[in-house]
Amino acid sequence: MKRLERSADAVAKSILRCHSMRVISHNDADGITSAGLICSALFRAGIPYQATLVPRLDENVVKGLEGPVLFCDMGSGQPDLISRVKGDVFVLDHHRPVGTLSCPNLNPHHFGIDGAFELSAAGTVYSVVRKMGQNADLAGLALVGAMGDRQALIGPNRDILDEAVKAGAVEVRAGLKMAEDGPVEEVFARTLEPLLDFVGDPQEAQEFLAEVGCQGRVEELAGTELARLSSAIVLKLLMQGSFAADSVVGEIIRLKREVLENAFELVMILNACGKMDLPGLGLSLCLRDTAGLPEARKMTLEYRKSILEGIDLLRRQHRDLQNIRYLLATEIRGGGVVAGLGIRYLFTDRPLLVLNHKEGTVRVSGRGNKPLVRAGLDLSVALRVAAENVGGVGGGHTIASGATLPPGREEEFLAHVDRIVGEQLRSGVSS
């Protein structure tokens, strides 16, 4: 951490010397919070900026681009594209590096920190932002980014949490990790997590809660009532074959400086903004502008509905190969969220891939889990190598990765992934 902090300080000093900055970041919760962090710090430092949020780094993003430009949550895996940008370039990322960047960059993997589990892109950006001025009040956004990438609050993430508590940016307490506040029966009837078998059925949700003897508001549950409901949820998940209890019960974060208190709700809204092609709305929320909050919440309801439709499709149409499970879909929203929910709550025994035909390409979202990673799974390698073999690109983390393929090469791609994953799991080494 000390070496990372020294590097972060050097990057911060270089950024502060720039007369302006173009910020380009990913359009998911981690990427949007990353953009929110650096844009807030630039504004406070009196440096004009322009921010652009994109679903992926490709030729169209870098074409004609001139520095100073700062890439967040992308760039470490594509040094060839980064090298085409003229002028000053900075890369703040947490994906596993591929090749070597010739510009100032910061990545936790360079310091022995696992970017998949211990430090998100937002956390990496925050390590720079905190060196640019009195910005500890922004620490809550870094935690939202980590939660968006489903990281544990351990290691460097725990350090950020401690700093956020000290700065009064967050409050931590025991509770249910629900992405909505409100009456418990209403929240449980429509929540995506936990993905219980009655989600979408208000009557069954009420019956479950009545049997448990629970009522009131989710965010106010405490003591024996919280313990009783938590136990019932864990038992129900085990009966469904899921071991995702840690995703539901435990430490919750209440944001004290942001537009929402519920950190899980902000994660959901930011992901919805990205997938519904309104990432700028999400960025405005991260910049503490409350004007767009009603629209964002309304859009998130639509997004949640589309995710549940994707889950239903996954239940009915998934297919199995020897070492992986997959879904072929067309124009669905939130393929990565569907894959993530699927691996946590429905199919836990092998990696899950969602292949989504959209806008003339095939977009792949792959998800694993910690037991599979411990057994040797590395989806970043599997998807990158398989995609390159069929004329596509891919990469990411050991546990979560993505790829873009040319249409018509899906079966060949899946065969490559199945073979690579099989080799990884048999050898017990993610390589």
167, 245 contact by CB (below 8 A): no
Tokens (6 digits) for 247: 């995703």
| Whether residue 243 has pLDDT greater than 80 | no
In order, the DSSP letters of 95-122 are SPP-S--SS-EE-GGGGT--TTTT--HH
| Whether residue 430 has pLDDT greater than 70 | no
Share of the chain above pLDDT 70, in %: 99
Could you tell me the pTM of the whole model? 0.87
Band of residue 289 on the pLDDT scale cut at 50, 70, 90: very high
pLDDT in tens, 16-44: 999 999 999 999 999 999 999 999 999 99
Band of residue 79 on the pLDDT scale cut at 50, 70, 90: very high
| Whether residue 410 has pLDDT greater than 80 | yes
pLDDT in tens, 139-180: 999 999 999 998 989 999 999 999 999 999 999 998 888 999
| Whether residue 191 has pLDDT greater than 90 | no
Among left, alpha and beta (phi > 0; psi -120 to 50; other), residue 250 is left
Tokens (6 digits) for 333: 């929203």
Rounded to an integer, the average pLDDT of 200-228 is: 89
DSSP state of 217: B
Coil/strand/helix, residue 27: coil
* Domains of the chain by residue range: 2-168, 175-306, 318-427
2-168 to CATH, choices 3.40.50.300, 3.40.50.1980, 3.90.1640.30, 3.30.70.890: 3.90.1640.30
pLDDT at 199: 80
Rounded to an integer, the average pLDDT of 357-364 is: 92
Among left, alpha and beta (phi > 0; psi -120 to 50; other), residue 83 is alpha
Alpha helices by DSSP H, 276-369: 279-286, 293-317, 335-341
Coil/strand/helix, residue 176: strand
| Whether residue 101 has pLDDT greater than 90 | yes
Question: Do 2-168 and 318-427 come out as alike in CATH topology?
Answer: no
318: which residues sit within 8 A by CB, 6+ positions away? Answer: 325, 326, 327, 342, 347, 352
Q: Which residue has the higher pLDDT, 137 or 240?
A: 137
307, 200 contact by CB (below 8 A): no
| Whether residue 80 has pLDDT greater than 70 | yes
| Whether residue 121 has pLDDT greater than 60 | yes
Rounded to an integer, the average pLDDT of 398-412 is: 95
Rounded to an integer, the average pLDDT of 66-92 is: 95
Alpha helices by DSSP H, 240-292: 263-275, 279-286
CA trace torsion 162, 166, 171, 172 (10° rounding): 30
Q: How far apart are the first and last CA of the chain?
A: 25
pLDDT in tens, 342-353: 999 999 899 999
Rounded to an integer, the average pLDDT of 402-411 is: 95
Closest listed residue to residue 23, CA positions, set 4, 44, 37, 2: 37
pLDDT at 303: 93
Task: Give the chain's mean pLDDT.
Answer: 93
What is the residue type of 214? C
Beta bridge partners of 70: 23, 90
What CATH class does 318-427 carry? alpha beta
pLDDT at 196: 84
Rounded to an integer, the average pLDDT of 3-20 is: 96
pLDDT at 429: 58
362: which residues sit within 8 A by CB, 6+ positions away? Answer: 355, 356, 392, 404, 405, 406, 407, 409, 410
| Whether residue 431 has pLDDT greater than 70 | no
pLDDT in tens, 244-277: 777 777 889 999 999 999 999 999 999 999 989 9
